[in-house]
């Protein structure tokens, strides 16, 4: 009996580490997004919508960048720095300035959703264009 318990525990640990990808296809290691079969979870899908409503005008479609604002998927920021920049803005010291969105009710409450979408794009879990939604 004890041997059976040991084997079950060993199998759980093995599949949890080695085979976890089967169950969490496209899931970020830090849990920010979940994409299965090209379909995005609610948070990531909402991030796509919010990004396109407020960010793509400068940072380009799908986060690829533009002639006056950087790509958000080529060299993604860590979550804390991303939150700080979105809330407070950033200046390059030259003519490039991003205003802060900390008081914008259409952006501030959704910073983590936008980050989830951009992280999924940066890691290749989502392609360009509107993702389909995972059904809950």
Rounded to two decimals, the pTM is: 0.76
If one compares 25 and 76, the residue with the highest pLDDT of the two is 76
Strands 39-40 and 35-36: antiparallel
- Quick one: average pLDDT of 106-132? 96
| pLDDT band of 135, cuts 50, 70, 90 | confident
The model's pLDDT over 31-48, given as tens digits with 9 standing for 90+, comes to 889 999 999 999 999 999
- Each residue's pLDDT tens digit, 51-82: 999 999 999 999 999 988 889 999 999 999 99
Tell which residue, 28, 35, 23, has the closest CA to residue 126: 35
Q: How far apart are CA 83 and CA 50, in angstroms?
A: 15
Task: Give the burial string for 95-120 (b: 16+ CB within 10 Å, else e).
Answer: eeebeebeeeeebeebbbbbbbbbbb
Q: Categorize the per-residue pLDDT at 8 as very low, low, confident or very high, splitting at 50, 70 and 90.
A: very low
Measure the CA–CA gap between 96 and 46, rounded to whole angstroms: 28
What does the pLDDT average to over 85-113?
89
């Amino acid at each position: 009996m004890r041997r059976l318990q040991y084997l079950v525990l060993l199998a759980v640990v093995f599949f949890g580490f080695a085979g976890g990808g089967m169950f969490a296809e496209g899931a970020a290691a830090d849990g920010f997004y979940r994409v299965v079969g090209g379909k995005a979870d609610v948070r990531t899908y909402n991030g796509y919508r919010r990004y396109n409503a407020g960010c793509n005008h400068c940072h380009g479609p799908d986060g690829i960048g533009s002639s006056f604002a950087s790509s958000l998927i080529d060299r993604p920021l860590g979550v804390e720095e991303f939150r700080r920049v979105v809330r407070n803005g950033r200046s390059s010291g030259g003519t490039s300035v991003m205003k802060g969105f900390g008081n914008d009710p259409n952006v501030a409450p959704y910073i983590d959703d936008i980050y989830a979408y951009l992280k999924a794009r940066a890691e290749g879990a989502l392609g360009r264009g509107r993702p389909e939604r995972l059904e809950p």
